[in-house]
């Protein structure tokens, strides 16, 4: 992806002027957020800066392996008071960094992201949705600054690129993305480790959840809608949170006849999360928006203030409406 050198130069000159930098991604962290923040912190530390990474939320078990590459601040009271620059990666909304507003207000902010929804109105912003992952933007900085990438940094970046493309399966898997992934392998990225941990890993609790969830598969609307449910009680019995098996909705989506896949997750007796996936013409973001959530045409989600039974009824009804109107 081509980016004007002036924007990259502005960012690298801010890096040069800063002494202590805090690099932060978003809460509910994913592989791009974690991989890109750790990679950038390693690169800054390598060029003589004091660099910190913060992730003010629980790190999913599948990304815990990344912690060997950089220490992570997980509590607000551990934030470095002396930091003069905050680099926010992969985060379209300042509040989703989890940082206190006053902490951000006092410091130089750099905003690097590839989400269209990022308005780029805070700090020095570089937002470009031509990039498939923020990790790829870090690679453009690497090229501009002529930084050396060691195998640890390459592994962090590989985790970023694979996470945001669903391991090269999503439509953002571009020729450029493959070229960047190839460069990471040349620099010594441990691709096998990333695949084993971030993609293939399943805890016994997850398998327990999956086993129960698959028995709830139901079809609706002349088999165009498939639904899977995880009740709060089942999740508790399996010893994990109902939303810990992210890809479960894919089982419902996999059925060829199905146009809309629904996954209901009981987070507590009064709170249910819904994940929606669509193929073709149906726009499931309309369903999510009804319940105060959001997303894209093909993938959306929301959190409902209802128990599973009410949530099931409300979501199904709305899905049927959208299915008929689209």
- Phi/psi at 95 (5° precision): -65, -25
Measured CA to CA in angstroms, residue 156 lies from 36, 41, 160, 177 at distances of: 7, 11, 6, 15
Q: Residue 111 or 134: which CB sits closer to Mn ion?
A: 134
H or E segment and range at residue 300 = strand 299-304
- Residues 263 and 103: their CA atoms lie apart, in Å, by 37
Q: Residue 90 or 244: which CB sits closer to Mn ion?
A: 90
Shortest gap between Cβ of 115 and Mn ion (angstroms)? 7
Task: Yes or no: say if 322 and 286 are a contact pair by the CB < 8 Å rule.
Answer: yes
Shortest gap between Cβ of 52 and Mn ion (angstroms)? 21
- Residues 70 and 65: their CA atoms lie apart, in Å, by 10
At which residue do the structure tokens 């004091």 appear?
50
- Residues 265 and 275: their CA atoms lie apart, in Å, by 8
> Using CB atoms within 10 A of its CB, is residue 169 exposed (0-12), middle (13-18) or buried (19+)?
exposed
Q: Residue 180 or 206: which CB sits closer to Mn ion?
A: 180
Q: Residue 168 or 207: which CB sits closer to Mn ion?
A: 168
- Helices then strands, counting H and E runs in the chain, come out as 12, 12
Shortest gap between Cβ of 89 and Mn ion (angstroms)? 8
- Residues 239 and 253: their CA atoms lie apart, in Å, by 26
Shortest gap between Cβ of 88 and Mn ion (angstroms)? 12
Q: Residue 93 or 326: which CB sits closer to Mn ion?
A: 93
For 44-150, strand residue ranges (E) read 50-54, 72-73, 85-89, 108-113, 124-127
Q: Residue 30 or 259: which CB sits closer to Mn ion?
A: 30
Handedness of CA 280, 282, 287, 292 (dihedral sign): positive
Q: Residue 32 or 283: which CB sits closer to Mn ion?
A: 32
Q: Residue 112 or 189: which CB sits closer to Mn ion?
A: 112
* Site of interaction with Mn ion (CB under 5 A): 32, 90, 134, 164
Shortest gap between Cβ of 153 and Mn ion (angstroms)? 17
Q: Residue 128 or 164: which CB sits closer to Mn ion?
A: 164
Shortest gap between Cβ of 248 and Mn ion (angstroms)? 21
Measured CA to CA in angstroms, residue 257 lies from 47, 138, 235 at distances of: 54, 40, 29
- Phi/psi at 218 (5° precision): -135, 150
Q: Which residues contact 234 (CB under 8 A, 6 or more apart)?
A: 209, 212, 213, 242, 266
């Amino acid at each position: 992806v081509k980016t004007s050198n002036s924007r990259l130069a502005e960012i690298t000159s801010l890096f040069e002027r800063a002494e202590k930098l805090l690099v932060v991604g978003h809460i509910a962290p994913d592989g791009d957020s974690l991989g890109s923040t750790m990679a950038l912190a390693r690169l800054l530390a390598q060029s003589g800066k004091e660099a910190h990474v913060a992730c003010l939320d629980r790190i999913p078990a599948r990304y815990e392996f990344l912690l060997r590459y950089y220490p992570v601040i997980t509590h607000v009271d551990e934030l470095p008071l002396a930091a003069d620059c905050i680099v926010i990666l992969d985060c379209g909304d300042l509040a989703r960094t989890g940082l206190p507003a006053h902490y951000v207000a006092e410091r130089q902010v750099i905003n690097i992201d590839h989400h269209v929804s990022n308005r780029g109105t805070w700090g020095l912003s570089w937002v470009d949705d031509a990039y498939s992952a923020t990790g790829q933007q870090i690679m453009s900085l690497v090229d501009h600054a002529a930084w050396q990438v060691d195998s640890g940094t390459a592994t962090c970046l590989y985790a970023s690129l694979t996470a945001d493309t669903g391991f090269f399966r999503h439509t953002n898997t571009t020729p450029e993305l493959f070229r960047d992934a190839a460069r990471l392998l040349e620099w010594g990225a441990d691709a096998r480790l990333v695949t084993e941990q971030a993609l293939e890993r399943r805890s016994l609790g997850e398998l327990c959840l999956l086993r129960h969830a698959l028995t709830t598969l139901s079809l609706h609307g002349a088999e165009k809608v498939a639904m899977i449910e995880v009740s709060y009680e089942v999740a508790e019995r399996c010893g994990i949170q109902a939303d810990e098996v992210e890809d479960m909705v894919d089982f419902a989506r996999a059925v060829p006849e199905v146009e809309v896949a629904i996954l209901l997750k009981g987070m507590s007796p009064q709170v249910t999360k819904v994940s929606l996936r669509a193929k073709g013409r149906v726009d499931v973001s309309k369903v999510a928006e009804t319940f105060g959530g959001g997303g894209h045409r093909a993938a959306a989600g929301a959190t409902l203030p209802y128990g599973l039974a009410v949530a099931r009824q409300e979501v199904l009804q709305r899905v049927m409406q959208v299915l008929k109107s689209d």
